[in-house]
Structure 1
Amino acid sequence: MVTNEFWLDRWETGRIGFHKDDVNPKLMTFWPMLPKGSRVLVPLCGKSNDLIWLAEQGYQVTGVELSSLAVVQFLGDNDLNYVTHHHGELKIHTVEDIPLRIVEGDYFHFCETDFDACYDRAAMVAMPDTMRARYVTHTLDRLSSNASVLVVSVYYDGDQQGPPFSIDDATVTQLWGPSIHKIAAENLALIHERYRDRGHSVYEESVWRIQPNLF
């Protein structure tokens, strides 16, 4: 059962194979051109340096993360000065030198709205099917009506149960709506032996985007 306690335990025990030290090249390649100062939401952000990259582009970045350990490691690893205040059940860590906040707590308790964009590298695929629709609805409710969205999904064969969970194309479209389009796909099982060693002949990582015409 994938619960909050499941993810907290993964961080406490260091089982965070989903974390990547480098900025995701798909983010750098496919992120849409947005006006400087646009408010960008990054759900379930972990300690990803994708946050730093987005802030360095001039966006107002808000990451939301459950694990206090992930938050502490992110702020410490990047030597960031910050101030913290409480808002209900959430802790909000505002970085002083770059336009970045980390909201610590349950994502479903985060209720700010009118974000101009959302970046989801590993949030949707972390959700079991029983929670996935709730996650997407909650995320869309955080966004403005003309927001841009960049989502990375995975689809694979074999016996793996996830997370990350396998999600087919039809499900992605059903969840996010007809405005989302696949813009890139790569079968990692053809490139990296570790996926074949896990019994996959298909391990497709896909990039999806909602990009309104005004951007």
Structure 2
Amino acid sequence: MEHDFWLQKWEDNDIGFHEHEANPALVDHFHELSLEKGARIFLPLCGKTLDIAWLLSKGYRVSGAELSTVAIEQLFTELGVEPQISDLGKIKHYSAGNIDIYGGDIFDLSGEILGPVDAVYDRAALVALPEKIRRRYTAHLMEITRKASQLLITFVYDQTLLPGPPFSVTDEEVSNHYSDYYQLTLLEIKDVPGGLKGQCPAREHVWLLSNS
């Protein structure tokens, strides 16, 4: 989507996509990544998700990329910590304790700025981007994370019934993006309760993308 679309969503507090608890798929399947405590997890297009607080509470380090300054400020306020802020070219780095958030366009975030990560948790990035951008995004994500393993959540539904976001990302598309680089395991398929945005039937697919 255009930057202004998401920035306006946060400015208007039009954030129906924001969940008010840790995502059940994260809670149920995070162990599949087989990470040691202290591992560093990257959340692309993270918003102020409560998944971050959950990961921190489990002893992991968290890094994220987010376009909206409003979302980043609310995240740190809700975590009850004051970040240190530094400018890294087009990216602003917000850091406190075991959390680093990189403010700006994710395509301006380099692997050098991000630093090493042990895994990626993509709940809201791939599905937030229109099809014409998703190929560029997946290639960039693999580049900056050095193809770290991923826990990926997608939605599958009749795209003609709902314009998105979140967009429908089929299993075939996931394979097209990632099968040359990862072993793909479909961990779970479940119906979205009440349908997506209450408007059309949809299923949530939970993927493990591993290097082993």
TM-score (norm 2): 0.90
1:115 matched residue in structure 2: 117
Q: In the TM superposition, what is the alpha-carbon distance from 1:88 to its structure 2 partner?
A: 0.7
Structure 2 gaps, min length 5: none
Q: Which runs of 4+ in 1 moved over 3 A?
A: 194-197
Tell me how far 1:135 sits from its aligned partner.
Answer: 0.6
For the structure 1 residues 52 and 196, does the alpha-carbon distance in structure 2 shift closer, same or farther, using more than 3 Å as the test? closer
Structure 1 counterpart of 2:167 = 165
Query: Aligned-pair distance for 1:55?
Result: 2.1
Secondary structure of residue in 2 paired with 1:132? helix
- What is the rounded CA distance, in whole Å, between the counterparts of 1:195 and 1:165 in structure 2? 10
Tell me, yes or no, if structure 1 residue 20 matches structure 2 residue 19: yes
The answer to whether residue 206 in structure 2 is matched with residue 207 in structure 1 is yes
Identical-residue share of aligned pairs (%): 33
Partners of 1:165 and 1:149 in 2: how far apart?
A: 19
On the 8 A contact 1:125/1:164 being kept in 2, the answer is yes
Partner amino acid, structure 1, of 2:85? T
The one-letter amino acid paired with 1:141 is E
Aligned-pair distance for 1:196? 8.8
Question: 2:90 matched to which residue of 1?
Answer: 89
Aligned equivalents of 1:196, 1:176: Cα separation in 2? 28
RMSD over aligned CA atoms reads: 1.7
1:195 is displaced (CA, Å) by: 4.3
How far apart in 2 are the matches of 1:172 and 1:77? 33
**1:21-55 CA-partner distances (Å, limit 9, x unpaired):** 21111101101220222221110000001112112
Change (3 A) 1:197 1:69: closer
Alignment of 1:1-215 (within 5 A): 2-31=1-30, 32-96=33-97, 99-112=98-111, 113-145=115-147, 147-157=148-158, 158-178=160-180, 179-188=183-192, 191-192=193-194, 195=196, 197-198=198-199, 200=200, 202-213=201-212
Deviation digits for residues 69-115 of structure 1 (CA, Å, limit 9, x no counterpart): 0011111122112211111111111113xx11111111111112542
Normalising by structure 1, we get a TM-score of 0.89
